[in-house]
């Protein structure tokens, strides 16, 4: 089951978002090759960021945002108060 989900994910990471010009994607690849941090981030997302694939619009941005907000609750006291209040 897990192997099948990985294969589906990798297949969907190859399909580009419709309506995006190939020249823009090529220039984005040049930027990624110059920045090793972006290459690492793209590899975490299955290469979808580098190819601007349809899987890029999936669950990864939500996961990244939730991790960033969890880290910010330590730094920003107001966010920590909101976190302690819970759902209302």
Read off the pLDDT of residues 36-77 as tens digits, 9 standing for 90 and up. 777 777 776 666 666 777 776 666 677 778 888 888 888 888
Residue 56, token pair as written in the block: 């890029």
Do residue 81 and residue 53 come from a single domain? no
Do residue 32 and residue 4 come from a single domain? yes
pTM: 0.44
Residue 16, token pair as written in the block: 């580009």
Contact yes or no for 8/15 (Cβ under 8 A):
no
Do residue 80 and residue 42 come from a single domain? no
Percent above pLDDT 70 for the chain: 82
CA separation for the pair 17, 77 (Å, rounded)? 39
Please count the structural domains in the chain. 2
- From the number of C-beta atoms within 10 Å of its C-beta (0-12, 13-18, 19+), residue 13 rates as buried
Which structural domain range is residue 23 located in? 1-57
């Amino acid at each position: 089951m897990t192997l099948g989900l990985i294969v589906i994910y990798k297949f969907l990471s190859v399909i580009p978002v419709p309506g995006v010009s190939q020249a823009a994607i090529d220039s984005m690849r040049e930027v990624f090759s110059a920045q090793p941090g972006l290459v690492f981030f793209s590899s975490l997302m299955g290469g979808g960021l580098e190819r601007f694939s349809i899987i890029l619009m999936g669950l990864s941005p939500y996961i990244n945002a939730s991790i960033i907000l969890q880290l910010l609750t330590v730094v920003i006291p107001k966010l920590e108060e909101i976190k302690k209040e819970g759902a209302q």
